[in-house]
Amino acid sequence: MRFRLAVLVAVTSVLTVASPAAAGPQPTAAHTAAGDWAYVQRQLYSVPLAQFVTTTPVGDRWFDWSTDGCSAPLKGDTGLSYNFRNPCVRHDFGYRNLKLLERRYGTGRTYWNSNNRKRVDLQFLADMQAHCRTRGLLLQPTCFTWALTYYTAVRIAGGP
Protein backbone atom coordinates (compact mmCIF):
# COMPACT_ATOMS: atom_id res chain seq x y z
CA MET A 1 0.00 0.00 0.00
CA ARG A 2 2.82 2.44 0.79
CA PHE A 3 4.36 1.73 -2.61
CA ARG A 4 1.07 2.49 -4.37
CA LEU A 5 0.77 5.72 -2.40
CA ALA A 6 4.33 6.64 -3.44
CA VAL A 7 3.42 5.93 -7.07
CA LEU A 8 0.30 8.06 -6.75
CA VAL A 9 2.30 10.97 -5.34
CA ALA A 10 5.01 10.59 -8.01
CA VAL A 11 2.47 10.45 -10.84
CA THR A 12 0.63 13.50 -9.61
CA SER A 13 3.84 15.50 -9.40
CA VAL A 14 4.80 14.57 -12.98
CA LEU A 15 1.33 15.13 -14.41
CA THR A 16 1.15 18.71 -13.21
CA VAL A 17 3.80 19.75 -15.75
CA ALA A 18 2.19 21.24 -18.87
CA SER A 19 2.43 19.43 -22.19
CA PRO A 20 4.94 21.03 -24.56
CA ALA A 21 2.68 20.58 -27.59
CA ALA A 22 2.26 23.69 -29.72
CA ALA A 23 -0.99 24.82 -31.23
CA GLY A 24 0.21 23.56 -34.61
CA PRO A 25 -0.72 24.81 -38.06
CA GLN A 26 -3.59 27.20 -38.66
CA PRO A 27 -6.97 25.90 -39.86
CA THR A 28 -7.49 25.34 -43.56
CA ALA A 29 -10.59 24.54 -45.59
CA ALA A 30 -9.95 20.86 -44.85
CA HIS A 31 -10.02 21.48 -41.09
CA THR A 32 -12.81 23.05 -39.09
CA ALA A 33 -13.51 23.21 -35.38
CA ALA A 34 -16.45 20.83 -35.74
CA GLY A 35 -14.53 18.40 -37.93
CA ASP A 36 -11.47 18.34 -35.70
CA TRP A 37 -13.66 17.93 -32.60
CA ALA A 38 -15.45 14.98 -34.23
CA TYR A 39 -12.13 13.39 -35.22
CA VAL A 40 -10.72 13.61 -31.69
CA GLN A 41 -13.96 12.26 -30.22
CA ARG A 42 -13.94 9.32 -32.66
CA GLN A 43 -10.32 8.45 -31.85
CA LEU A 44 -11.03 8.56 -28.12
CA TYR A 45 -14.39 6.84 -27.85
CA SER A 46 -15.30 4.97 -31.05
CA VAL A 47 -12.07 3.46 -32.35
CA PRO A 48 -11.07 0.28 -30.49
CA LEU A 49 -7.83 0.74 -28.55
CA ALA A 50 -5.96 -1.90 -30.56
CA GLN A 51 -6.86 -0.09 -33.78
CA PHE A 52 -6.01 3.32 -32.28
CA VAL A 53 -2.44 2.30 -31.43
CA THR A 54 -1.78 0.56 -34.76
CA THR A 55 -3.13 3.28 -37.03
CA THR A 56 -1.46 6.35 -35.58
CA PRO A 57 -0.76 8.49 -38.66
CA VAL A 58 2.89 9.03 -39.45
CA GLY A 59 3.69 12.62 -40.24
CA ASP A 60 0.33 14.00 -39.09
CA ARG A 61 1.21 17.43 -37.73
CA TRP A 62 -2.37 18.64 -37.38
CA PHE A 63 -3.05 16.64 -34.22
CA ASP A 64 -0.70 15.97 -31.31
CA TRP A 65 0.27 12.28 -31.39
CA SER A 66 3.15 12.68 -28.93
CA THR A 67 3.17 10.55 -25.81
CA ASP A 68 5.32 9.89 -22.80
CA GLY A 69 3.48 6.68 -22.02
CA CYS A 70 2.51 6.44 -18.40
CA SER A 71 4.23 9.24 -16.53
CA ALA A 72 4.77 7.29 -13.31
CA PRO A 73 8.49 7.63 -12.61
CA LEU A 74 8.51 4.99 -9.88
CA LYS A 75 6.35 2.44 -11.68
CA GLY A 76 6.20 3.17 -15.39
CA ASP A 77 3.53 1.69 -17.62
CA THR A 78 4.09 -2.00 -16.97
CA GLY A 79 4.24 -4.28 -14.00
CA LEU A 80 4.00 -7.98 -13.24
CA SER A 81 0.21 -7.92 -13.50
CA TYR A 82 -0.41 -5.26 -16.17
CA ASN A 83 0.76 -3.31 -19.20
CA PHE A 84 -0.99 0.06 -19.43
CA ARG A 85 1.17 1.46 -22.23
CA ASN A 86 -1.62 1.60 -24.84
CA PRO A 87 -4.25 3.10 -22.51
CA CYS A 88 -1.68 5.75 -21.55
CA VAL A 89 -0.98 6.55 -25.21
CA ARG A 90 -4.68 7.16 -25.90
CA HIS A 91 -5.04 9.16 -22.67
CA ASP A 92 -2.13 11.39 -23.75
CA PHE A 93 -3.81 11.85 -27.14
CA GLY A 94 -6.99 12.95 -25.40
CA TYR A 95 -5.42 15.47 -23.04
CA ARG A 96 -3.04 16.90 -25.62
CA ASN A 97 -5.62 17.29 -28.35
CA LEU A 98 -8.37 18.73 -26.16
CA LYS A 99 -5.84 21.33 -25.04
CA LEU A 100 -4.74 21.85 -28.65
CA LEU A 101 -8.34 22.38 -29.81
CA GLU A 102 -8.84 24.81 -26.94
CA ARG A 103 -5.84 26.85 -28.09
CA ARG A 104 -6.79 26.60 -31.75
CA TYR A 105 -10.56 27.14 -31.62
CA GLY A 106 -11.30 28.04 -28.00
CA THR A 107 -13.46 31.04 -28.72
CA GLY A 108 -17.13 30.23 -28.26
CA ARG A 109 -16.64 26.58 -27.25
CA THR A 110 -14.59 25.06 -24.48
CA TYR A 111 -12.77 21.86 -25.38
CA TRP A 112 -10.50 21.50 -22.36
CA ASN A 113 -12.84 21.59 -19.39
CA SER A 114 -13.63 19.43 -16.38
CA ASN A 115 -16.41 17.47 -18.12
CA ASN A 116 -14.32 16.58 -21.17
CA ARG A 117 -11.30 15.82 -19.00
CA LYS A 118 -13.36 13.47 -16.85
CA ARG A 119 -14.65 11.69 -19.95
CA VAL A 120 -11.07 11.13 -21.18
CA ASP A 121 -10.09 9.87 -17.72
CA LEU A 122 -13.04 7.46 -17.63
CA GLN A 123 -12.02 6.13 -21.05
CA PHE A 124 -8.50 5.65 -19.66
CA LEU A 125 -9.95 3.61 -16.79
CA ALA A 126 -12.13 1.59 -19.18
CA ASP A 127 -9.11 0.87 -21.43
CA MET A 128 -7.04 -0.27 -18.45
CA GLN A 129 -9.87 -2.43 -17.11
CA ALA A 130 -10.34 -4.03 -20.53
CA HIS A 131 -6.65 -4.90 -20.47
CA CYS A 132 -6.97 -6.32 -16.95
CA ARG A 133 -9.73 -8.66 -18.14
CA THR A 134 -7.21 -10.23 -20.56
CA ARG A 135 -4.80 -11.12 -17.76
CA GLY A 136 -4.79 -14.45 -15.95
CA LEU A 137 -7.31 -14.86 -13.15
CA LEU A 138 -4.62 -14.66 -10.49
CA LEU A 139 -3.26 -11.38 -11.89
CA GLN A 140 -6.58 -9.64 -12.47
CA PRO A 141 -7.20 -8.37 -8.92
CA THR A 142 -3.79 -6.68 -8.77
CA CYS A 143 -4.22 -5.32 -12.29
CA PHE A 144 -7.58 -3.77 -11.40
CA THR A 145 -6.05 -2.24 -8.26
CA TRP A 146 -3.27 -0.65 -10.33
CA ALA A 147 -5.83 0.58 -12.88
CA LEU A 148 -7.70 2.36 -10.11
CA THR A 149 -4.42 3.79 -8.77
CA TYR A 150 -3.48 5.23 -12.18
CA TYR A 151 -7.01 6.56 -12.71
CA THR A 152 -6.97 8.23 -9.28
CA ALA A 153 -3.61 9.81 -10.08
CA VAL A 154 -4.84 11.41 -13.29
CA ARG A 155 -8.03 12.58 -11.60
CA ILE A 156 -5.97 14.32 -8.92
CA ALA A 157 -3.32 15.83 -11.18
CA GLY A 158 -4.72 16.04 -14.67
CA GLY A 159 -6.36 19.14 -15.14
CA PRO A 160 -8.34 22.29 -15.16
Positive or negative: CA dihedral 83, 87, 88, 89: positive
User: What is the Cα 72 distance to its own chain's centre?
Assistant: 13
pLDDT digits (tens, 9 = 90+) for 19-73: 434 444 454 557 788 899 999 999 999 999 999 988 777 667 789 888 888 876 5
- For residue 107, give every residue at least 6 positions away whose Cβ sits within 8 Å of its Cβ, in sequence order, or none: none
d(CA 10, CA 21): 22
Domain assignment present for residue 130? The answer is yes
Helix or strand holding residue 57 (H, E)? none
**Residue 31: per-residue pLDDT:** 79
Domain assignment present for residue 114? The answer is yes
Note if the pTM is more than 0.85: no
Q: Where are the alpha helices (H) located in 46-113, listed in sequence order?
A: 49-54, 85-105
Q: How much of the chain, in percent, has pLDDT values that exceed 90?
A: 48
pLDDT digits (tens, 9 = 90+) for 108-149: 668 988 899 999 999 999 999 999 999 999 999 999 999 999
The CATH number of residue 133's host domain is 1.20.90.10
Query: Domain span at residue 72?
Result: 65-160
d(CA 13, CA 104): 27
Q: How many domains does the chain have?
A: 1
Domain assignment present for residue 80? The answer is yes
